[in-house]
């Protein structure tokens, strides 16, 4: 089973520290100061703020991932314990955005330019920037694990891995058995 | 002024946890407001705020509009956060392109150990030479230094303390170089105003000297001089705009930039900061000592004052110039030094909220000390609200401790480490000011305060 990160809306204070941490954790170089970063901020987690609810939303790493199932170029694949976008294959068709039931998929503008496609602007035309599907990768390779979990001042995140899930199921099953027993008395 | 963008603020209220004066008002989950009567403009909220304008959010006003509203340069690429400081970088850019203006710039001590971070350099990188070179490349006519004025402040403030101690003046005396602390006394403890040193802050001393002594040295009319200050602080603009800060006959400081704003200007001019060749600051008012330089860390003003005060009173060299007992972190530190037959009791406060019990003691007549240094920010100016904003919270402490190490490293490596031994300070008293606390000093370097309640 895949591991995933999920936030608790009852604990979330809406500070967006997770979004910043996510964007910083996915930079190719170490950057400390805000101004040292010269490109758009691209987090893979999105804070939802609506009346009565505040919560960051990110990929659930679905076992039968709808995003992967609809991808026409097989750019989304199962890898170890997660669903991963191979951005070098992605054509930016956005089928995954439509398919995802959580709204966890985004399109992210990249630094590199496309080889052929151009966009017209007031200076004539320039090569269009590459745009690819973009989602939570559980901070692959990061020693401290997912950055959002580490940074949250409200401790609103939970890393749900198969072991934790199975243990939780066992506890709940036991509780329901005890419940039946006490109910019969 | 510090503001909170009502469109962006989510009401997480983490800013309220760092605000030393409870000036941030609002319900949890709703946009917050700043009570400007209470706010001391320290900018700690600007540093902690993590709510930013997402590039994909279409329900908020466009980025260009927000850039305009915040007085930012249009070239700024960094994310825009809810808590922000209204800067003057645009004014500086305009002034630098005006050939009729003679520009003099000063940089606070803490700027040179932080600005490199804005260009991807290691946290706390010490770059005074690159800083001077960048300012020259930007087109400033004179590259002066707040560190020089810090040396000058020590001459005046040290003399004032000696005078108060020997003539039964108002004691304990409080330092007056932190404008947020001064505003706090004026609004919360106006009855203690007589305890504040009458010395202007180094920024304002420098400003007054630029348009008098500086103009004279360069043979330019004071009216042609534009004086710019680069500060790690979001309250220095407020200080420069105080109505009484015009003893030179003009505004003593015309524009104040934060460390971050100077980085914006350097980037906008296409200057590659990291590869700049090191240059020096200009004479006469760019010459500084280690004592002036340590003003940027908590305890620095006190240490610099003791280095000079000890020698002026005893006429002997201080046994050890490194006064480790005065250095430290956030909170209250007490120490005493024996100077001749006098035991001076000293208190250093870092972090404004820690000062309240001490002020209550002074009010009740129970203060058992002579001199108190107060800095509003947690570790002094190196942790100021105008310093580079560190994105990863786990790196913040590392950033501030690295800047602190750099400040003392710089002090250790400077040849002259006592303010009264600064050759240009000696010269300025001989040729222009006369003597500390003298008539000219009193006019240009000292100030008055106003109760705000």
Q: Which tens digits make up the pLDDT trace of B146-197? A: 999 999 999 999 999 999 999 999 999 999 999 999 999 999 999 999 999 9
Q: Where is A169: in which H helix or E strand?
A: helix A162-184
The percentage of chain B sitting over the pLDDT mark of 70, rounded to a whole number, equals 100
Q: Would you list the domain boundaries of chain B? A: 1-86, 142-445
Domain that holds residue A166: 4-184
Please state the pTM of the whole predicted model.
Answer: 0.93
Q: What phi and psi, each to the nearest 5 degrees, are found at residue A114?
A: -75, 160
Closest residue in A to B77 (Cα–Cα)? A38
Which of the four pLDDT bands, split at 50, 70 and 90, describes residue B342? confident
pLDDT of B253 higher than 90: yes
Average pLDDT, chain B: 96
CB of A35 within 8 Å of any CB in chain B?
yes
CATH class entry, domain B142-445: alpha beta
φ/ψ of B318, rounded to 5, equals -65, 135
What are the tokens at B111?
């700027």
Residue A68's pLDDT is 98
- Tell me the C-alpha distance between B120 and B114, whole Å: 11
Contact between chains at B79 and A15 (C-beta distance less than 8 A): no
pLDDT digits (tens, 9 = 90+) for B7-26: 999 999 999 999 999 999 99
Contacts of B402 in chain A (CB under 8 A): none
* Candidates A13, A20, A35; nearest CB to B12: A13
Q: Which of A32, A48, A49, A146 to mutate to test the interface with B (most CBs of B within 10 A)?
A: A32
Nearest C-alpha in A relative to B80 = A34
Q: What is the pLDDT of residue A39?
A: 66
**Does pLDDT of B93 surpass 90?**
yes
- How many Cβ atoms sit within 10 Å of the Cβ of residue B360? 12
Q: What is the CA radius of gyration of chain B?
A: 21
Chain A residue closest in CA terms to B10 = A14
pLDDT digits (tens, 9 = 90+) for B368-410: 999 999 999 999 999 999 999 999 888 999 999 999 999 999 9
The one catalytic residue in B118, B157, B303, B311 is B157
Q: Is B255 exposed, middle or buried (0-12, 13-18, 19+ CB in 10 A)?
A: buried
Q: Which among A17, A29, A35 has the least Cβ separation from residue B393?
A: A17
CATH classification number, B1-86, choose in 1.20.1050.10, 3.30.70.20, 3.40.640.10, 3.40.50.970: 3.30.70.20
| Domain count along chain A | 1
pLDDT the model gives residue B150: 98
- A11 — contact with chain B (CB < 8 Å)? no
Alpha carbons B117 and B110: distance in angstroms, whole number: 12
Q: What is the pLDDT of residue A38?
A: 65
Average pLDDT over every residue of B135-147: 98
CB-CB neighbors (< 8 A) of A153 in chain B: 14, 393
Q: Do A34 and B56 touch (CB under 8 A)?
A: no
- What count of other Cβ atoms lies within 10 Å of the Cβ of residue B364? 8
Q: How far apart, in whole angstroms, are the C-alpha atoms of residue B201 and residue B133?
A: 25
Residue of B nearest to A109 (CA): B55
Q: How far is A175 from chain B (nearest CA, A)?
A: 36
Query: What is the distance in angstroms between the CA of the first residue and the CA of the last residue of chain B?
Result: 20
Please state the rounded mean pLDDT for residues B422-439: 96
Query: A153-172: per-residue pLDDT in tens?
Result: 999 999 999 999 999 999 99
The whole-angstrom distance between A52's CA and the closest CA on chain B is 9
Residue keyed to tokens 């602190």: B404
Is B336 catalytic? The answer is: no
Which residues of chain A, if any, have pLDDT below 70?
35-39, 184-185
Q: Does A33 touch chain B (CB under 8 A)?
A: yes
> Alpha carbon B157 to chain centroid distance?
16
Chain A CB contacts of B11 below 8 Å: 14
Query: Catalytic: B160?
Result: yes
Q: Would residue B197 show up in a list of annotated catalytic residues for this protein?
A: yes
Distance CA(B51)–CA(A111), nearest Å, equals: 24
What pLDDT does B116 receive?
96
B392 → closest Cβ in A13, A24, A46: A24
Nearest partner of B195 among B48, B347, B363, judged by Cα: B363
Q: What is the pLDDT of residue B341?
A: 84
Instruction: Please name which of B167, B147, B307, B299 lies closest in space to residue B230, comparing C-alpha atoms.
Output: B147
Query: Are the Cβ atoms of A33 and B388 closer than 8 angstroms?
Result: yes
Residue B266 reports pLDDT greater than 70: yes
Contacts of A34 in chain B (CB under 8 A): 78-79, 81, 388-391
ipTM over 0.90: no
Tell me which chain A residue has its CA closest to the CA of residue B394: A151
The pLDDT value recorded for residue B232 is 98
């Amino acid at each position: 089973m895949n591991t995933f990160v999920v936030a608790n809306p009852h604990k979330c204070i809406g500070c967006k520290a997770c979004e910043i941490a996510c964007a910083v954790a996915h930079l190719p170089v170490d950057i400390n100061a805000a101004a040292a970063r010269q490109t758009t901020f691209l987090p893979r987690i999105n804070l939802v703020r609506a009346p009565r609810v505040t919560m960051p939303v990110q990929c659930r790493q679905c076992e039968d991932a709808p995003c992967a199932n609809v991808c026409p170029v097989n750019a989304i694949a199962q890898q170890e314990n997660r669903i991963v976008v191979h951005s070098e294959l992605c054509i930016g068709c956005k089928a995954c955005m439509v398919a995802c039931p959580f709204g966890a998929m985004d399109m992210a503008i990249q630094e590199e330019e496309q080889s052929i496609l151009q966009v017209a602007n007031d200076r004539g035309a320039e090569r269009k920037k590459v745009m690819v599907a973009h989602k939570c990768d559980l901070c692959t390779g990061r020693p401290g694990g997912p950055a959002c979990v580490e940074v949250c001042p409200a401790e609103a995140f939970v890393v749900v891995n198969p072991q934790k899930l199975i243990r939780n199921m066992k506890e709940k099953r036991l509780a329901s058995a005890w419940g039946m027993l006490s109910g019969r008395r | 002024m510090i503001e909170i963008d009502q469109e962006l603020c989510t009401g997480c209220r983490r800013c309220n946890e760092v605000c030393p004066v409870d000036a941030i008002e609002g319900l949890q989950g709703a946009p917050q407001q700043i009570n400007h009567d209470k706010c001391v403009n320290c900018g700690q909220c600007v540093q902690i705020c993590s709510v930013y304008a997402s590039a994909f959010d279409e329900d908020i006003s466009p980025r260009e509009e927000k850039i305009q509203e915040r007085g930012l340069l249009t070239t700024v690429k960094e994310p825009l956060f809810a808590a922000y400081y209204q800067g003057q970088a645009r004014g500086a850019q305009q002034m630098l392109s005006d050939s009729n203006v003679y520009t003099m710039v000063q940089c606070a001590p803490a700027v040179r150990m932080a600005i490199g971070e804005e260009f991807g350099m290691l946290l706390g990188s010490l770059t005074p030479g690159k800083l001077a070179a960048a300012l020259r490349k930007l087109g400033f006519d004179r590259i002066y230094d707040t560190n020089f004025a810090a040396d000058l402040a020590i001459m005046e403030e040290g003399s004032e303390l000696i005078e108060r101690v020997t003539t039964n003046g108002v004691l304990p005396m409080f330092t007056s170089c932190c404008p947020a602390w001064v505003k706090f006394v004026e609004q919360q403890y106006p009855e203690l105003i007589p305890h504040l040193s009458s010395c202007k802050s180094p920024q304002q001393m420098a400003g007054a000297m630029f348009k008098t002594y500086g103009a004279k040295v360069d043979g330019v009319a004071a009216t042609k001089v534009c004086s710019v200050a680069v500060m790690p602080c979001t309250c220095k603009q407020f200080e420069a705009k105080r109505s009484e800060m015009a003893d030179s006959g003009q505004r003593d400081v015309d524009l104040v930039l934060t460390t971050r704003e100077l980085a914006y200007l350097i980037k906008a001019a296409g200057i590659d900061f990291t590869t700049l060749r090191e240059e020096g600051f200009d004479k006469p008012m760019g010459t500084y000592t280690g004592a002036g330089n340590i003003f940027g860390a908590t305890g620095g003003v006190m240490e610099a004052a003791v280095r000079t005060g000890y020698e002026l009173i005893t006429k002997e060299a201080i046994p050890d110039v490194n006064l480790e007992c005065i250095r430290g972190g956030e909170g209250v530190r007490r120490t005493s030094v024996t100077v001749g037959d006098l035991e001076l009791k000293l208190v250093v406060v870092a972090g404004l909220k820690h000062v309240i019990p001490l002020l209550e003691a002074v009010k009740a007549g129970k203060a058992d000390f002579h001199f108190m240094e107060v800095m509003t920010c947690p570790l002094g100016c190196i942790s100021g609200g105008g310093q580079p904003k560190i994105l990863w919270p786990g790196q913040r402490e590392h950033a501030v401790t690295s800047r602190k190490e750099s400040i003392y490293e710089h002090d250790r490596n400077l040849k002259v480490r006592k303010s009264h031994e600064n050759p240009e300070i000696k010269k300025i008293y001989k040729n222009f000011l006369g003597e500390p606390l003298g008539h000219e000093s009193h006019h240009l370097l000292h100030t008055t305060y106003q109760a705000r309640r």
